[in-house]
Amino acid sequence: MQYNPGWNSSSVNLLHVWAAGPRDSLHYVWSSIGAPAVLLVATQSPSSALRVNWTQLLSPSPAGAIWIDPPDSVVYSTAVVFTKLFEFSEAKPSGELFYPTYDLAEFSWDSLNHTLNHTALTAELSGVPANDPGGGFSNGSLAFRVTAYEGQGREGRLPSLLHTADSSQLEFLLAGVAPRGNSSRFVLEVATVEEAGAVRRLRSQRSIDDEYTPTIFEVSEGWPRAGGDPAVLPCPHPVPPQVLSLVAESQNGSSTLGFLQWKATAYGSRHPRREDGIQCRAQGLQVANWTLPVSSIVQAYFGDSLGSTCTISALNVSFGGEEGEVYQEKRYLSWSVLLGFGEPPRDTFSPLVISITAVALGTPLAMLLLGSCLVLLAQRRRYSEYEPIN
């Protein structure tokens, strides 16, 4: 982890995290110059290096200020930009009332230098709007907490995302920010940049591992009341939590190049427990036909191709369902997402779930075996009652 490599001021933030393997190396470049963004570059050289021309990066035309040396070692690069935070309330009688948008490109960010932990491989980028007429941020802040990993495993904190050595976790935190409505909900807009040849797709799957995430009760209709009453009662039934992946695939679909992966839950507590879960929904992925905010590292790296051959896709992630008052009450929201290269990790059954399943499946099986034995014994005994008469 390197903070502002080659620059001795902490007025801007650029964090370089890299992982070197025997044949390749990966670079993550996090920055708050412009809108908060991360650049992900995979190279096929174990010694590829990040180069930054700082005078150019901090100039009004940063194109070309960030590159990887040697340039031909780059096999895949992408970027993720956190552009906007929307806030709205359900307005009576119908519709949604949107409050003025928080544009993350117009935030002022603290130096993350003092939050760097080289042991835990974490850093936190925290900011408030540069101009906050409503004073909503006077007691709060918006932050992105980055965690890099040295090996594969599962994050200890909920939502306990699985990770690999070449992925990083990002936690979006909204703490203490005063909501502008009585039942405000927040929506985070996330944009991705892909070069020619790659496309983003949203995949959704049900997690099979229930131990780590709250079960969301979905209300469905169609359970007839006893007695044949045709009236239907909404009946909550548990559904496994959803795991969403925004994957980058090669145009011909032959390989997965990178991903963002998250569970459909955010948390309303600093020390998240399952009962603090807040529903989180992804709205459709859109090809964004707008120019990105002047997120300098993205422009600095992709240069002019940003406006021509690159595709920008964006999606909204909303927090809170019908329980709109959760944020009002807790004034805390955290949402975790894993970023990485290649295929996203897949949940397998955890030992606890396996043992529960084993007990659940095993008990009837044992009963069945025991039952058969008893029947056999009983039959033996019955036969023995009819001893040969000879």
**Residue 356 Cβ vs ligand NAG, minimum distance, rounded to whole Å:** 31
In this complex, which beta carbon is closest to ligand NAG, that of residue 15 or of residue 19? Answer: 15
Give the nearer residue to ligand NAG in terms of CB position, either 214 or 259. Answer: 259
**∠ CA 40-41-43, rounded to 5°:** 155
The pair phi, psi for residue 28, each rounded to 5°, is: -120, 125
Distances (CA, A) of 183 to 86, 93, 95, 277, 321: 14, 15, 13, 17, 10
- In angstroms, what CA-CA distances link 315 with 46, 120, 201, 253, 310? 34, 30, 11, 21, 17
- Give whichever of 289 and 390 is closer to ligand NAG, judged by the CB atom: 289
Stretch that binds ligand NAG, among 148-156, 250-258, 296-304, 361-369 (CB under 6 A): 250-258
Q: Which residues of 125-145 are buried (b: 16+ CB within 10 A; e: fewer)?
A: bbbbbeeeeeebbeebbbbbb
Q: In whole angstroms, what is the distance from residue 150 CA to residue 160 CA?
A: 16
Q: How far apart are the first and last CA of the chain?
A: 93
Helix %, strand %, coil % of the chain (to 5): 20, 45, 40
Among 204, 205, 215, 250, binds ligand NAG (CB under 6 A): 250
Indicate whether 390 belongs to the interface with ligand NAG (CB under 6 A). no
From the CB of 311, what's the least distance to ligand NAG, in Å? 11
Number of H helices, E strands in the chain: 4, 26
Binding of residue 94 to ligand NAG (CB under 6 A) = no
Q: Which stretch binds ligand NAG (CB under 6 A): 66-74, 273-281, 308-316, 380-388?
A: 308-316
Residue 67 interacts with ligand NAG (CB under 6 A): yes or no:
no
Asked if 17 is part of the footprint of ligand NAG (rule: CB under 6 A), the reply reads: no
Based on the shown chain and the rule CB under 6 A, indicate whether residue 182 belongs to the binding site for ligand NAG: yes
Cβ proximity to ligand NAG: between 63 and 208 the closer is 63
User: Among 285, 283, 240, 266, which Cα is nearest to 323's?
Assistant: 266
CB neighbours of residue 324 within 10 Å: 18
Using rule CB under 6 A, residue 309 touches ligand NAG: no
- Can residue 197 be called a binding residue for ligand NAG (CB under 6 A)? yes
- Residue 252 in the binding site for ligand NAG (CB under 6 A): yes
Question: Which positions lie near ligand NAG, rule CB under 6 A?
Answer: 3-4, 8-10, 53, 55-56, 86, 113, 117, 119-120, 135, 138-139, 178, 181-182, 187, 189, 197, 250, 252, 254, 283, 286, 289, 314-316
